[in-house]
Chain A
Amino acid sequence: MINLPLLPILIPLLAAVILMLFPKHIAAQRVISIVTAIATIIASAVLVAAVKQNGILTVNLGSWPAPYGIPLVSDMLSALLVLTTSIIVLFVLWYAIYYSDREYESYFFYISVLFLLVGLNGAFTTGDIFNLFVFFEVFLISSYLLIVLGGKKGQLRESIKYVLINVISSALFVAAVAYLYAVVGSLNMADISQRIEALNEPGIISVIGIFFLIVFGLKGAIFPLYFWLPGSYHAPPIPVLALFGALLTKVGIYAIMRTFSLFFYQDGGYVHIVLGALALLTVIIGSIGALAYRDVKMIIIYNIIIAVGVILYGVAVMTPDGLEGAIFYLLHDMVIKAALFLLVGIMMAIAGSSHLKDMGGMIRDYPWIGWTYFIGALSLAGIPPLSGFIGKLLIVRGGFAAGDMIGPLLILISSLVVLYSAMKIFTNGFWGTPREYHGAKAHLATRLWVPAAALILIAIAYGVGAEAVRPFITQAVEPLVNPAIYIDAVLKE
Chain B
Amino acid sequence: MEFLMSIIVGILFTCAVYLILSKSLIRIIIGTVLLGHGSHLLLLTMSGLKSGSAPVLMDNISEYADPLPQALVLTAIVISFGVTAFFLVLAYRAYQELGTDNMEQMRGTESHD
- Chain A residues close to B by CB (< 8 Å): 130, 133-134, 137, 140-141, 144-145, 148, 151, 153-154, 156-161, 163-164, 167-168, 170-172, 174-175, 177-179, 181-182, 187, 231, 234-235, 293-295, 298, 354-355
Asked if A168 meets B35 with Cβ closer than 8 Å, knowing A154-B108, A156-B94, A181-B46, the reply is: yes
Known contacts A163-B83, A171-B32, A181-B69; is-contact A157 B94 (Cβ 8 Å): yes
Name B residues whose Cβ lies closer than 8 Å to a Cβ of A.
Answer: 20, 25, 28, 32, 35-36, 38-40, 42-43, 45-48, 68-69, 72, 75-76, 79-80, 82-84, 86-87, 90-91, 93-94, 97-98, 106, 108, 111-113
Q: Shortest 3 CB-CB distances between A and B: which pairs? A: A182-B46, A178-B43, A174-B39
In the bound complex, residues from chain B placing their C-beta under 8 Å from that of A157 are 94, 98, 106, 108
Contact residue among A140, A148, A187, A231 (Cβ-Cβ distance under 8 Å from B108) = A231
Distance from B6 Cβ to chain A, minimum over Cβ atoms (Å): 11
Known: A160-B90, A164-B28. A141 touches B83 (CB 8 A): yes
**Which of the listed residues B32, B75, B76, B98 has the most CB atoms from chain A within 10 Å of its own CB?**
B76
Inter-chain contacts of A170 with B (CB < 8 A): 79-80, 83
Closest to A148 in B: B90
Using CB atoms, name the residue of chain A closest to B17. A168
20 A-B pairs whose Cβ atoms sit less than 8 Å apart in the complex: A141-B82, A144-B86, A144-B90, A156-B97, A160-B90, A163-B87, A164-B28, A167-B35, A167-B83, A170-B83, A171-B35, A171-B38, A174-B42, A175-B39, A175-B42, A178-B39, A181-B47, A181-B69, A293-B112, A293-B113
Chain A residue numbers with a CB within 8 Å of B35 are: 167-168, 171
Question: Given contacts A167-B32, A167-B35, is CB(A153)–CB(B113) below 8 Å?
Answer: no
User: For chain A, what secondary structure do more than half of its interface residues adopt (helix, strand, loop), or is it mixed?
Assistant: helix
Question: How many residue pairs at the A-B interface have CB separations less than 8 Å?
Answer: 112
B98 touches A156 (CB 8 A): yes
Chain A residues within 8 Å of B93, by CB: 151, 156
**Chain A contacts of B32 at CB under 8 A?**
164, 167-168, 171
Q: How far is the CA of A231 from the CA of B112 in the complex (A)?
A: 9
Beyond A163-B90, A167-B36, A168-B32, list 18 extra A-B contacts (CB 8 Å).
Answer: A130-B75, A134-B79, A137-B83, A156-B94, A157-B98, A157-B108, A161-B106, A171-B80, A174-B39, A174-B40, A174-B72, A175-B43, A178-B69, A182-B46, A187-B68, A187-B72, A234-B111, A234-B112
Query: Which residue from chain A places its CB closest to the CB of B96 in the assembled complex?
Result: A156
Residues in B neighbouring A178, C-beta threshold 8 A: 39, 42-43, 45-47, 69
Interface residues of chain B: helix, strand, loop or mixed (majority): helix
A134 to B71, CA, bound (A): 13
Contacts of A354 in B (CB 8 A): 111
Q: For A137, list chain B residues within 8 Å (CB).
A: 79, 83
Give CA–CA (A175, B37) in the complex, Å: 11
Q: Please, which residues of chain B bring their CB within 8 A of the CB of A153? A: 97-98
Q: Is there an interface contact between B106 and A355, defined as CB atoms closer than 8 Å?
A: no
**Chain B residue contacts of A148, Cβ below 8 A:** 90
CB pair B108 A158 closer than 8 Å: yes
Q: A167-B32, A293-B113 are in contact. Are A160 and B106 (CB under 8 A)?
A: yes
- How far is A177 from B44 in the complex, measured between Cα atoms in Å? 11
A295 engages B47 (CB within 8 Å): no
Using CB atoms, name the residue of chain B closest to A175: B39
Which of B20, B43, B76 has a CB less than 8 Å from the CB of A164?
B20
Residues of A within 8 A of B91 (CB): 160
- Determine the chain B residues whose CB is within 8 A of the CB of A172 once the complex forms: 39
By a CB distance below 8 angstroms, the chain B residues around A158 are 108
Which residue on chain A has the smallest CB distance to residue B42?
A178
For A234, give its contact among B48, B80, B87, B108 (CB under 8 Å): B108
Contact of B94 among A160, A182, A234, A293 (CB under 8 A): A160
The chain B residue sitting closest to A144, CB to CB, is B86
For A185, the closest partner residue in chain B by CB is B47
Q: How far, in angstroms, from A159 to B25 measured CA to CA in the complex? A: 13
From B47, B86, B108, B113, contact of A163 by CB (8 A): B86
Contact B39 A171, beta carbon cutoff 8 Å: yes
Which B residue sits closest to A152, measured CB to CB?
B97
Q: Contact at A134–B111, with CB atoms within 8 Å?
A: no
